[in-house]
Chain A
């Protein structure tokens, strides 16, 4: 375990940035956001970023390939470039877990090479959550905010930052930083973990349970009459899906540039009326069906296909951003994620 004084954070960032691109949460007018580090940028104190860290592996829009048409010939142009190594600093436990959820989708056969390329070049430095928010419920999904995963886990005390390398990749980076960090023992970190766990116990959503949901429960919930009431106020916007770290649906479209075609992929939302539209039309005609799809996917379909893993990590972004304040917590409570259980 290594440590560094908080006052030396700029030195730390500049040392990391010398070897590879470094992204970290910084404060902006619209809340915290991951940005490339540059001299003068300071780490945000916010608990989490408005948008999740999934953008780094699964960007909102991405060019897949180009077509050039000349006469009767179509030329296909592969626009892929090998991604450069980069470091993601300050990722929270929930977001780190979300990468596992995304991996199971994009790295399953056939593998998504665009995603894989970026995933392999990333080094994740996570941070334990000193001050969780009332909207946090990562514990519900078995995530410990005091013990995130990642290549390197960091803990922040009042004046120091502690590093714990968890992977070979992480150890290598930490070794490279040995000149500006000092050796540390576990004591301060253990104290910090205890403090975090004590705080997690005070969270209002700490007792939300996933029992009742999961693999094979489709029939049980699909026709529940409560979907009607739950979805009735839904505007059908895509806010929840776009701030969600685990939502992974996308659309592939062609854009006619006037002198060629660009095939791109962009995020899609199951809340949209034109989601998965086919020649025969939209399979889900009402907002009730679209709304149900989103939550059934997170709580039932995904676990059914992925060994019981839920595709929600309890980050609370949808609780914070939904224009009408409907969210997965309310759905779980209404449908039977019993608090007392």
Chain B
């Protein structure tokens, strides 16, 4: 469901380029098919008019690109932010990871995004996809046209959208939404209710598929270390491939822990995983625990907030007590 059209975004970009507010535009470039759009920086009007794209497959979170894009130039960059991107935007600002002065942010309402990867697993030989209201028409090479409800194709992370409200922007296109009751912890709770053996079997099954492509880490807007400990040959834990199931667990536990309190739950990790590992369920466990142990906290909701993991109170629960509360036994 596109709430704003490509033309609206394009015109806004052209207007801001023309009046000198910005010098460059971070947007999506059209691909070979309707679903394979690529983030790109457009330097001028012609490039924008030719290749700028905005459709229901423009799901990638732009915020992380701002780190590299603002570091290498003095030019001002226009970025389009969906509500979930705006949380990462704030979180990166909190961590002083990019220069706010060099960015002009335009908020774009979002009705949920589709995933090309998921769609292609449902439908064979997709040749074109068009969205009309809440219907999606998928043209195929050999099976004719198929029609779906938008809801049924909605990408997994959008099914538990936490917020339609932008928390950062210089200018907003369209109407802003509300923070939603997303039921995003339902799945975490389901796992918590299982026996330890069941949970172990579940995670062993999921994590054993990991191929250590590092896409989850490289796409994550919270993973912004200049050099990751897992890439450092002197760390003793550099593992380019998991030679033992321990290494898969180690990598994902440490990664989730390292972003705990900073993860905005944007869902990019699970979106990019080529092996469909529900990595967001690790991050959500930390978010849920943080909320229940130390009070509700949403990373990125505001700039400058102090993450619970670098904070304390004198009456925090003891670890043993916390574990009991962690799986709903208290």
Contact = CB atoms under 8 A, between A and B. Distances in A.
Nearest to A62: B243
A299 interface: no
Greatest chain B CB density within 10 A among A235, A262, A269 is at: A235
Nearest to B228: A273
Interface in A190-239: 199, 202-205, 229, 232-233, 235-239
Contacts of B275: 30, 50
B175 to A, nearest CB: 29
A245 B135 CA distance: 37
Given A235-B219, A329-B32, A61 B241 contact: yes
Given A237-B219, A325-B31, A232 B40 contact: yes
Most buried by A among B39, B219, B274, B275: B274
B240 interface: yes
B276 interface: yes
Contacts of B83: none
A184 to B, nearest CB: 25
B274 A232 contact: no
Contacts, number: 123
B125 interface: yes
Contact of B32 (A31, A264, A330): A330
B218 interface: yes
B212 A238 contact: yes
Given A274-B233, A325-B37, A235 B243 contact: no
B116 interface: yes
Contacts of B233: 274, 277
B39 A242 contact: no
A30 B209 contact: yes
Contact of B124 (A31, A133, A204, A327): A133
Interface string A226-258: 000100110111110111000000010101000
A131 interface: yes
A264 B120 contact: no
Interface in A249-306: 251, 253, 255, 262, 264, 266-269, 272-274, 277
Contacts of A47: 124
Contacts of A272: 214, 231, 240
A319 interface: yes
B213 A233 contact: no
A332 to B, nearest CB: 11
Contacts of B271: 323
A204 B127 CA distance: 8
Most buried by A among B217, B218, B271: B218
A311 to B, nearest CB: 19
Interface string B85-123: 000000000000000000000000000000011001100
B142 A131 contact: yes
A61 B208 CA distance: 13
Nearest to A47: B124
A134 B116 CA distance: 12
A273 B231 contact: yes
B141 A233 contact: no
A29 interface: yes
Interface string A105-148: 00000000000000000000000000111100000000000000
Given A30-B276, A330-B31, A319 B36 contact: yes
A14 interface: no
Contacts of A63: 243
B272 interface: yes
Given A47-B124, A132-B125, A237 B215 contact: yes
A134 B126 contact: yes
Contacts of B36: 319, 325, 327
Given A131-B124, A237-B219, A239-B274, A199 B38 contact: no
A274 B218 contact: no
Contacts of A241: 213
Interface string B218-243: 11000000010001010000111111
Given A238-B212, A238-B213, A61 B243 contact: yes
Interface of A: 29-31, 47, 50-51, 60-61, 63, 131-134, 199, 202-205, 229, 232-233, 235-239, 241-243, 251, 253, 255, 262, 264, 266-269, 272-274, 277, 319-321, 323-327, 329-330
20 contacts: A29-B276, A60-B211, A202-B141, A203-B141, A204-B141, A232-B40, A233-B40, A235-B215, A235-B219, A237-B214, A237-B215, A237-B218, A239-B215, A239-B272, A243-B274, A255-B243, A266-B239, A269-B213, A274-B233, A325-B35
7 tightest Cβ-Cβ pairs between the two chains A and B: A266-B241, A323-B272, A325-B36, A237-B215, A30-B276, A235-B218, A237-B218
